[in-house]
Amino acid sequence: MSQKFQNDEIDELDDIFEEVDLGPSRIKEPGLNPFKELANLALYIVLILSITFLLVNYVAQRTVVDGSSMNDTLEDGDSLFIDKLSYRFSEPERYDIVVFDYMYKLDTHYVKRIIALPGETVQIKDGIIYVDKKDGNGLQPLDDDIYGNAEIAEAHYGLASDPIVVGQDEYFVMGDNRNNSHDSRKADVGLVSKDQIVGKVVLRIWPLSTVKWFG
């Protein structure tokens, strides 16, 4: 009796397995929707363009030096990266190299070095730069200026032959090629407002042999 029950149970299991399809399983791929694919592609393009716009307008930008006014620090044709974000959270500092808008010509930018800060007084005499840093010492030689490539000839003192008081949110800038630079010593450039500053030069990426971080 017990043996017969076991055999009947086995027969029932065989019937169950015969009904089960043990062949390889397959996943049915959903059909491609061309309109959905096109929408995804458009969204991707918009995202890339938006990121590029934000980077170029608010974070960083590449520019190329045109001219010799920043020799020997920068040379004609040097390719630079500009940090456009830092000055939104901090103030420009003395000796920063900045790119700024030239007010009298559309889409024209100058690259110079900050020499005097807001509220300071600057003057050129005896071939060197004097700055009153508001520390009670009056006009003093800018002894830590190691960037100028030559003593300044009297013919190039320009507006700085007399003391210049730098206004609030303004900066006195000069090229490192002190005797061949169109900068704050010229009336059409003058003091540069913070609003004019595009950004700070942080990196030279070309030529490869002269890659340098300015920070």
Is 137 exposed, middle or buried (CB count within 10 Å of its CB: 0-12, 13-18, 19+)?
Answer: exposed
Q: Which residue in 25, 79, 112, 181 is the catalytic one?
A: 112
Spatial separation of the C-alpha atoms in residues 130 and 106, rounded to whole Å: 33
Would residue 69 show up in a list of annotated catalytic residues for this protein? yes
DSSP 49: H
Q: Out of 69, 84, 181, 200, pick the active-site residue.
A: 69
25 tagged catalytic: no
> Rounded to whole angstroms, how far apart are CA atoms 170 and 166?
6
Distance between CA atoms of 146 and 126, rounded to whole angstroms? 17
What is the residue type of 192? Answer: V
212 SS3 class: strand
Q: Distance between CA atoms of 76 and 65, rounded to whole angstroms?
A: 5
The catalytic residues are 69, 112
